[in-house]
């Protein structure tokens, strides 16, 4: 097999990036009008009962709330084109700064959940295919479908109840997981190893809530891909040559079965970010999801639109990365 020419890959990536611009623009346009035409006035959170009409008018003018919605959209679009997402109503600082401070926590949570779900789901799917139509296959199918059918926010609440509240207060378990925040109150006084452990303990429940739901779907997909692969002629040839069954399954079959799983990386990113919004709110995780939820409650239009725009950009970038990975996992793919 010939390797993919770099020029073709570069041109394909450039076309995808240019094609993503109108997509992100369309998403941001729809989001802008949905947010700005929703019931409620963001000025009500900025105005005190004793303020005069002149002060109220100056506040509305300073935030551009006295302009018609189409005019506000054009102004916002011009600001976004120059890299300015506006000023947050509720936090009184630039939206870019608010999102920049929340983005690392979201990337940490979603990254860990994505890696765990693909690793565990792939292993379970391969094991099911290797034990096809046995008790192991049936049992694992039950549990993967069980978690796959659960909403991530409900699973998060149940895990918080069992592994945090009940484990610490009712059952007195020696090890239980914090259910709120990204770090403990004594985080700054801990050693480097203690900080790592503290952060990991706070990460367990939110990451597990996200990864268990996605793991079910990935395991089902991996099982089907693995079963299809082991029926191919090259697998029968390897067995006929006397290659050990473990090597046939994990060195030959699994390697080729992993190629279709790259598709799921792009498909699962919207599901991952949507679940992150609810899970961050439940566990008080200081990421973008919780920031956007707070902005919605406060009618903070610039922050809601900035967060939505960033989520859309992350999904588009993730899909582009998933497409480009085909060039490395499957040399047969061509982006001519």
Domains of the chain: 6-329 (1.10.3720.10)
166: its two tokens: 């009940």
Q: Across-strand partners of 87?
A: 94
Confidence of residue 44 (pLDDT cuts 50, 70, 90): low
**Burial class of residue 131, CB neighbours in 10 A (0-12, 13-18, 19+):** middle
Please report, for residues 9, 142, 181, the alpha-carbon distance to residue 187 in angstroms, rounded to integers and kept in the order given.
Answer: 45, 40, 11
Compute the half-sphere exposure of residue 220: CA atoms within 13 Å on the CB side of its CA. 14
pLDDT score recorded for residue 302: 86
Q: Is the pLDDT reported for residue 192 higher than 50?
A: yes
From the list 92, 100, 91, 90, the residue with the least C-alpha distance to 299 is: 90
- Compute the chain's Rg from CA coordinates: 25
Q: Which is nearest to 99 in space by CA: 117, 87, 113?
A: 87
pLDDT at 329: 64
Rounded to an integer, the average pLDDT of 323-336 is: 64
pLDDT band at 5 (very low <50, low <70, confident <90, very high): low
Which has more pLDDT, 173 or 199?
199
- Which of the four pLDDT bands, split at 50, 70 and 90, describes residue 331? low
Nearest to 252 by CA among 221, 229, 223: 229
Phi, psi angles (nearest 5°) of residue 2: -90, 145
Report which listed range, 175-184, 205-214, 263-272, is most confident: 205-214
pLDDT band for 169, please (50, 70, 90 cuts).
confident
What pLDDT does 98 receive? Answer: 92
Q: At what angle do helices 152-160 and 192-229 cross, to 10 degrees?
A: 140
pLDDT in tens, 285-320: 999 889 988 888 888 888 888 888 888 888 888 877
Q: pLDDT tens, 210-226?
A: 999 889 888 988 888 88
Distances (CA, A) of 185 to 182, 190, 326: 10, 10, 44
Average pLDDT value for the chain: 82
Q: Tell me which of 43-52, 110-119, 273-282 is least confident.
A: 43-52
């Amino acid at each position: 097999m010939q390797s993919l020419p770099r020029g073709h890959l570069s041109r394909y990536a450039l076309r995808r990036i240019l094609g993503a611009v109108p997509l992100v623009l369309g998403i941001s346009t729809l989001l802008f009008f949905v947010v700005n035409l929703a019931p409620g006035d963001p000025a009500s959170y900025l105005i005190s009962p004793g303020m005069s009409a002149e002060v109220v008018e100056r506040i509305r003018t300073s935030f551009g709330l006295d302009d018609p919605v189409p005019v506000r959209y054009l102004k916002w679009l011009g600001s976004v084109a120059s890299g300015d997402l506006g000023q947050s109503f509720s936090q009184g600082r630039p939206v870019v700064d608010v999102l920049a401070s929340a983005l690392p926590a979201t990337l940490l949570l979603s990254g860990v959940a994505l890696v765990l779900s693909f690793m565990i789901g792939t292993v379970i799917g391969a094991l099911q295919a290797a034990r096809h139509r046995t008790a192991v296959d049936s049992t694992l199918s039950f549990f993967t479908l069980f978690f796959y059918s659960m909403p991530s926010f409900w699973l998060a609440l149940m895990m918080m109840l069992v592994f945090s509240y009940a484990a610490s207060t009712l059952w007195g378990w020696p090890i239980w997981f914090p259910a709120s925040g990204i770090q403990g109150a004594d985080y700054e006084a801990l050693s480097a190893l203690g900080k790592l452990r503290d952060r990991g303990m706070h990460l367990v429940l939110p990451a597990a809530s996200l990864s268990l739901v996605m793991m079910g779907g990935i395991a089902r997909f991996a099982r089907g891909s693995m079963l299809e692969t082991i029926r191919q002629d090259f697998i029968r040839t390897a067995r006929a040559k006397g290659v050990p069954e473990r090597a046939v399954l994990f060195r030959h079959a699994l390697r080729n079965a992993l190629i279709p799983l790259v598709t799921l990386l792009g498909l699962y990113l919207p599901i991952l970010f949507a679940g992150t919004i609810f899970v961050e709110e439940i566990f008080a995780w200081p990421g973008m999801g919780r920031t956007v939820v707070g902005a919605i409650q406060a009618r903070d239009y610039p922050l809601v639109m900035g967060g939505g725009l960033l989520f859309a950009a992350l999904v588009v970038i993730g899909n582009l990365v998933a497409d480009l990975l085909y060039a490395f996992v499957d040399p047969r793919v061509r982006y001519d």
